[in-house]
Chains A and B, each alone.
Chain A
Amino acid sequence: MIARIASGLVPFLGLVLLWMLLWGEFSVLNLLVGIGFALLVSATFYLPAVRLSGRFNPWRALVFLVRLLADIVVASLQIAWVAVNPRYTPSNAIIVVQLRSRSDLVMTFTAEAVSLVPGSIVLDLDREQGTLALHALDVHSADELPRLKREVLATERRIILAAGSHDDVERLRAAESTDKKSADTREATS
């Protein structure tokens, strides 16, 4: 019930906040006009409510944002270097990553975050299968693919820990423990 109310309220409050951000001042008049416009916009451009997970961890969200910013800075410099490098040879890859979550919100945020970081563009997203298809720039051998996939899964992990549902967090933990076990057995057999 609370999650249901919050799912409607958060976009609404976001619109009010946006109105005040655009004016750059926080006054009562601005708040009232903002509420009026938010009502008008949500009534005219009706969108189906996105179910929020009902869970939000501010510390994890901060970790996610700082890490995203760091990734953007590092990757932008890398892509900039690739672009001006005189010995550049084109070589790319299209990879498909199996996400762990089935939540629309987590998948959307993961796709946004992954394509915001330079070097990868989301080409396709399969909602039923929970897979992301990415185009990665400057990949020269198949050995680099596991690292790229690990990075996408790490981004998804940070998002789930910040705002995923309890269900998703448990599934993530379960998936990670089986991954670890299979890695251990692989090491033991080799």
Chain B
Amino acid sequence: MDAGWDMVWDVRDVVTAVLVLLAALMCFAAGVGLIRFPDVLSRLHAATKPQILGLMAIVADVAVTNFSLGTLTLAVAIVFFQSLTAPVSAHLVGRAAYRTDHFRRDILVVDELTPDAPRNVT
């Protein structure tokens, strides 16, 4: 390999390292949020959301390191379907938690869905 190719590999390594680090940070934050957030609805934010960016980073990372049409199309398919399904699962759990009152009403600034619910019920 000549010097030109080495340069390309160096750039790829840097991109890979940054993406993996970003994904790891997102997963870490999701784990911390899962423990620290006080109720089901808040925890859902931590459990479903930073993970999307983490997944995007990991998949982009795989696509960069093994660049081919096959991996690229598979990466697009993975991100597309994960983005479509993650909000649905979050919505279902959130709706169930809301309807069965499994959340802390006292930390809400406002609840426009049932505005006259008593505030001190937990």
Contacts and interface: CB of A to CB of B under 8 A. Distances in A.
Contacts of B33: 79-80, 82-84
Contacts of B41: 92, 121, 123, 135
Given A79-B29, A80-B50, A83-B33, A25 B69 contact: yes
Contacts of A169: none
A83 B109 contact: no
Interface in A5-27: 18, 20-26
Contacts of A83: 29-30, 32-33, 36-37, 46, 50
B52 A24 contact: no
A127 interface: no
Given A90-B38, A95-B112, A135-B41, A115 B91 contact: yes
Contacts of B84: 112
Nearest to A133: B113
Contacts of A118: 45, 49-50, 52-53
A27 to B, nearest CB: 12
A148 to B, nearest CB: 11
Interface of A: 18, 20-26, 72-73, 75-76, 79-84, 88, 90-96, 111-112, 115-119, 121-124, 133, 135, 137, 139-142, 145
Interface of B: 25-26, 28-30, 32-33, 36-39, 41-42, 44-46, 48-50, 52-53, 56, 68-71, 73-74, 76-77, 83-84, 86-87, 90-91, 94-95, 98, 104, 107-113
